[in-house]
Structures are given as C-alpha cells and as structure tokens.
Amino acid sequence: MSGKHRGVQARVRQIIPEAIYVHCKAHNLNLAIVHACKEPLVRNIMDTIQQISFCFNESGKRTVFFRDELAENDEVKEDMGRRAKIQTLCDTRWASRCDALYTFLTAYPVVVSSLKKLERNGDSKARSFICCISKFDFLIALVVVEHILQIIHPLSIMLQAKTFDLIEAVQEAKVVNNKRNDDVEWEELFDKATSLAAKVDEIPTIPRGAARQQHRANVPAATPKEYWKRALYYPFLDHILQELEDRLAGNEARFQPQYSIPTKLDGLTDDISRHDLTAVSFDVFHIEVTRWKSRWAIVTNQKPGTLVETLKSTNQMLYPNVYVCLAILATMPVATATAERSFSVMRRVKTYLRSTMTTDRLSSLALMHAYKHTEIDVQQVINVFADRKSRRLAFLFRQ
C-alpha cells in the first residue's frame, strides 16, 4: 500500500500529486513501540520473559508448580486478580505487552520460588532462568519498560476505537514528553526495582566498564541510580518520544480543519491548514473562516459535534473553502483497525468444519456476525425466502 514506486499511494499521487498518504495511526504507534524496544536491555528482557512464559504454559508440570506457589502467596494472588498464569507477549500488538509485563512483574516472587522448586526437581532450564531474572539489570529494565508501556496503552486503545478525536490523540502522545524531566517518578521506579531486587538478595550495581567500549552502555555515573537513569531510562524514553513525534504527530497540521467543527471552534486559529488551496488567497480564506465562526456563534441550540454532521450542515455555496477542507479531512482514513476486524470475523466464521463454504454464504455470515447488533425482522426474512421461487407445495401458509 505505501510503496514508494509501485504502491497504491504512489499510483494515486501520479494522478493527484497533492494527495497525502496517511498511514494508520494505530499501526504507527505499534511501530514506534517496536523500534523503541530494540534497545539491547529492553530486547533482552522481552526475550527472557517470552521464554519463561512458554516454559510454564507449555508444560503441565511447571503450570502445577506455579499455581501451587501462587495459592500460597495471598498478596501476589490478590494483586494478580483473575490471572492464574504468566501471559505470553503478543507478537503483533506490542502496546498490549504491558499487561503481560505487569503480570510477570506482579508474580515475580512466585516465578522465582517456582523455578527454585523446579530446579530441585531436576528441571534443566530452571537454573538458567533464575540467573537471568535475578540480575539487577533485568529488574530495572522490567520496571521501567512496564511503567512506560502502561502510559502508552490507553492511547493504543483510543486509536483502535471506531470513533476518536485524532487531535486529542496527538495531544495525548505529547503527555509522555513530560515524563523525561520528572525526577520524582524516576526515583520511585528505582526504589521499586531495588525493593524487588532485595527479595532475591540482589543489590543495585553498575556493570563493569572499560575505557573503550563498543557493545554495551558505558556512561559515566557515580551511583547505580544515576547510571541506570542515563543508560536505560533516558535512552528508552527518548526513543519512544522520537518515534511518537515522527510517526504519530507528523501529520498533525493536516488534521487542523477538525477545529472547524462547531463544537471545537475555540481551537480554530489563523494557522489552520488550507490543504493546498492554491487557487484561494489567504485573505479570502481568512474572511470565510471569520464568517464561519460568526455563523455558529449566534447558534444557541445544539451544534454539530462530528465531521459528518458538520458537512451536512455546511452550505457549499456560502462556505466553499471550508467545505472543501472538511471534505478532504473526511477522506483521510486515520486508522484501519475497524477494517481489519473483518479479517478476524472471517477467521471465526470459516473454520475447518466450514471449509467448503461458498463465497456468497461466507460473505453473508460475515456480515451477520460483524453487524450482530442490527435488528432483523425474522418474519420478513421468511417471507422473502418463501417467495423467492414457486414450489409445488406451499412453503408458507397465510391466512
């Protein structure tokens, strides 16, 4: 779709050079997290947690050990809620990994005690897992990554909704920027990692450094708190912020006409994007926008609150340029999450028991499943089916 030379967006721009390709914002957020998680320490803890979750979930013996340890630890059991096992990390939806990281972080004492019992029972993998998750670099990375992903997760849910405010989503993405200068929050995270390390008799340390180092962080620091802040917290947070700025907030100016909606006119300024209306001078456009704001200022009853309602209420002859801006904005798909849900519907409908289903039947069942909340007149369906063709025997008896 987004190929530079032969993609759909490239072919469209060959016909209309002014067209702007807008990538799915939900996918952009996911890609931002994927790229930020390529930091070595973050990548290592992700791989370790995934291996441990597979180790417990794919073995009945290990699962029994984990559940027995969880049943004996009332505090961890209460914090985990209904969760009764370690969750695996999703390969596609990286924003949802915060739930799996939270589960692992909450159940950390239970995981350690379960692995120790498995080691005493001759499990060959348990010892290596204990050594990996007992180090302080693993614990501090786990606490930091889980905390930051928890901040971004609500934004991911918002971008996958059927209706959402993109301007509000962009502003929410900028909230993460305030976390970088919050020293109190970093101290809380470090204290949390320190208390977690104390449960396995581990103390905060600085990795061995060298005068010339190429393959690991070798930042100058006097204390472990200062070192991990410079070597882990700042790099990961800066990577997230840069990715969010490049991928999510990059086309913010293209969506400024959203402030033309009557209920959002307070945010309408002279800097509103005109979407390359080269045939219109700025003075003419400014006068039209001023009239548009005055037109809705005198309205006292309920005003349009969505883009579709505003388009229907706009007189194209009186406000041609505002109408064009709103129409162009309406053609910009900001997310493909709703469209991609049809793939999930087809996967649920066409199972191996329905492998011989024809295309028409599959399409009809998929529509019924996707729009299952739509009310259907059963009697009308029966009448249409009965009258579709003439039969020797009366299919439907009417009085």
Find where tokens 């990961």 sit: 236
Exposed/middle/buried for 393, CB within 10 Å: 0-12, 13-18, 19+? Answer: exposed
Domain match, 56 and 186 both: yes
DSSP code string of 148-181: HHHHHHHHHHHHTSSS--HHHHHHHHGGGGGGTT
The Cα–Cα gap between 57 and 50 comes to 11
Backbone angles phi, psi at 14, to 5 degrees: -65, -35
The Cα–Cα gap between 112 and 77 comes to 15
**Per residue in 331-364, pLDDT tens?**
776 777 777 778 888 888 888 888 888 888 888 8
Exposed/middle/buried for 18, CB within 10 Å: 0-12, 13-18, 19+? Answer: exposed
Domain match, 324 and 238 both: no
Of 139-148, 186-195, 262-271, 272-281, the range with the lowest mean pLDDT is 272-281
pTM above 0.85, yes or no: no
26 and 338 in contact (C-beta within 8 Å)? no
93 and 340 in contact (C-beta within 8 Å)? no
For residue 387, what pLDDT is reported? 80
The Cα–Cα gap between 146 and 105 comes to 8
Neighbours of 102 (CB within 10 A): 19
**Residue 125 located in a structural domain:** yes
Number of domains in the chain: 3
- Of 330, 346, 375, the residue that ends a domain is 330
Backbone angles phi, psi at 96, to 5 degrees: -80, -5
Domain match, 369 and 295 both: no
More confident residue, 305 or 192: 192
Average model confidence (pLDDT) across the chain = 82
Structural domain boundaries enclosing 369: 337-386
The Cα–Cα gap between 336 and 257 comes to 21
Task: Tell whether the model's pLDDT for residue 191 goes beyond 80.
Answer: yes
Domain match, 242 and 133 both: yes
Domain match, 189 and 297 both: no
The Cα–Cα gap between 6 and 29 comes to 25
**Residue 4 located in a structural domain:** no
Of 21-30, 96-105, 369-378, the range with the lowest mean pLDDT is 21-30
